[in-house]
Chain A
Amino acid sequence: MNEFENAKNAYGSTPIPPELAGRVQEGIRAGKDRRRNRRAMAVRRWAAAAACFGLVLAGLNLSPTLANAVSSVPVLGGLFQVLTFVDYDKSEGGIDYDVSVPEVDAAGSLAEKVNAAIQEKVDQHLAKAEQDWADYREAFFATGGTEEEWGGREMNVMIDYEIKGQTDHWVSFIVTFAEGWVASYEERNYYNLDFAEGRSLTLRDFLGEDWVNTCNASIRKQIDARTDAGGSTLFFAPDEGGFTTVDESTNFYVREDGIVVVCFPKYSIAAGAAGNVEFAIEAP
């Protein structure tokens, strides 16, 4: 056993470089900074969106810092606003929730319809996640897993949104639903809303009557550009389930600079390694 004590002592006598303390302090400083930046970025994103839409603070549960950050930006007039309706980060029943749900605030039935649709998706997603988790747990124990092996397994459930672009009368945003454990799953929902006209915007609104040809030509050009000289590409061939044409159901968002970006989910037209595929479409 003394030999073991010797080994432990030898390990314990590893020389400690004099600069270690400084490096640890530097790590602490940088980590605090990064954490602050991440939070500030979240506030900025939120505040920028709120500022453009004319913010109403009433009824919102704001922390003092957020309220200060928001009240210091100029408030412009507008037809609508997008606010974080639900925001929580909690762990419960082996599920780690990170949820930010947007709510559109505007007069008229469009906002109401969109909010109801988002809420329905949120409910579905949370119910599905809980069911998936319960199924997985059941299968785990049914196949001889023990409480010990299960350990502190956790599943992640994430709902988040991102405003891609907006003017005083329309907004384009994406709501992402994701769950992750042994497998992962992600679903994106695209919203392009015009509050002046009280309806969802289409590719035709941005690209004109010939929107199908405009999109298809641009997408084919970009797929070709992402194919190397040997003809090797992540994109599937058209007859193997690859890209053929856009249609009414094709997802898109509109960037801050007004450029339309057409999106295809992971695996739909290219190998998984390509992830979610996006094409910025130049207006004709």
Chain B
Amino acid sequence: MTKEEILIQYLVENQARFYRLAYSVLKDRDEALDAVQTAVCHALERQSSLRNPEAVRSWFYRILLNACTDALRQRPRTVPFPEGFDLPHEDPEPAGGSLARQVDALPPKMGIIIKLRFYEELSLKEISQATGQNLNTVKSRLYAGLKKLRIAMEGAEIS
């Protein structure tokens, strides 16, 4: 299998994951679809920068997160709604829990690390590569995020 074939297979097989992550950052269906498509296109175009096909996951997540950041930047600046005003969501809120909502309410830099670690099950090293932050920053943000969530960590492995 050529590198391109490996890449395409990976992208097709994991597309739902990419969409979920993009949606969790952007909270907008169309923007999330655009971000995934842009990231996929970019990945194919720049595949020569993928030196180690085994690291495709962290390599692609970085591209995807950059596409999400770009989408956030392009949003027009809007006046926030008054406190307590519930914005209608185009897609139904994921059912099942206050914790999920608390994760979403974290500062974005903390939230994304928690999501990558626990929802996407990336290793800390992979998160460091995917977000372009050094490992210690990732660790301290992860712990700070967990502290905020007041999760009892019994049983959950961190590294």
Report which of B23, B41, B100 forms a contact with A10, defined as CB distance below 8 A: B100
Kindly identify, within residues 7 to 30 of chain A, every residue whose CB is under 8 Å from any CB belonging to chain B. 7-17, 19-21, 23-24, 26-28, 30
How distant is B141 from chain A, measured CB to nearest CB, in Å?
Answer: 15
One of B15, B99, B155 near A6 (C-beta < 8 A): B99
Indicate whether A230 reaches chain B with its CB closer than 8 angstroms. Answer: no
* A21 interface neighbour in B15, B43, B96, B156, Cβ under 8 Å: B15
Contacting residue for A27 out of B44, B96, B135, CB 8 A: B44
Residue A257 at the chain B interface, CB threshold 8 Å: no
Q: Cβ of B23: which chain A residues have Cβ within 8 Å of it?
A: 14
Interface residue B57 (Cβ < 8 Å from any Cβ of A): no
A149 touching B24 in the complex, CB below 8 Å, given contacts A6-B96, A7-B103, A11-B119:
no
Query: Mostly helix, strand, loop or mixed at chain A's interface?
Result: helix
Interface size range of chain B in the complex: 35 or more
Q: Are the C-beta atoms of B15 and A24 separated by less than 8 Å?
A: yes
Question: In the complex, which range does the number of interface residues on chain A fall in?
Answer: 35 or more
The reply to whether A151 and B100 contact each other, CB–CB distance below 8 Å, is: no
* Inter-subunit contact A15/B92 (CB<8 Å): yes
Which B residues are in CB contact (< 8 Å) with A16? 16, 19-20
1/0 contact string of A137-151 vs chain B (CB within 8 Å): 000000000001101
A230 to B46, CA, bound (A): 44
**Smallest Cβ distance from A3 to chain B, in angstroms?**
5
A221 sits at the interface (CB 8 A): no
Verify if B39 is at the interface (C-beta below 8 Å from A).
Answer: yes
Complex contacts, A30 vs chain B, CB 8 Å = 41, 44
- CB distance B94 to A14 under 8 Å? yes
A60 beta carbon closer than 8 Å to chain B: no
Given contact pairs A4-B99, A14-B94, A31 touches B33 in the complex (Cβ within 8 A): no
* A14-B91, A16-B16, A16-B19 known; A24-B99 Cβ under 8 A: no
Give the 4 A-B residue pairs with the shortest CB-CB distance, closest first. A31-B44, A27-B40, A10-B94, A31-B41
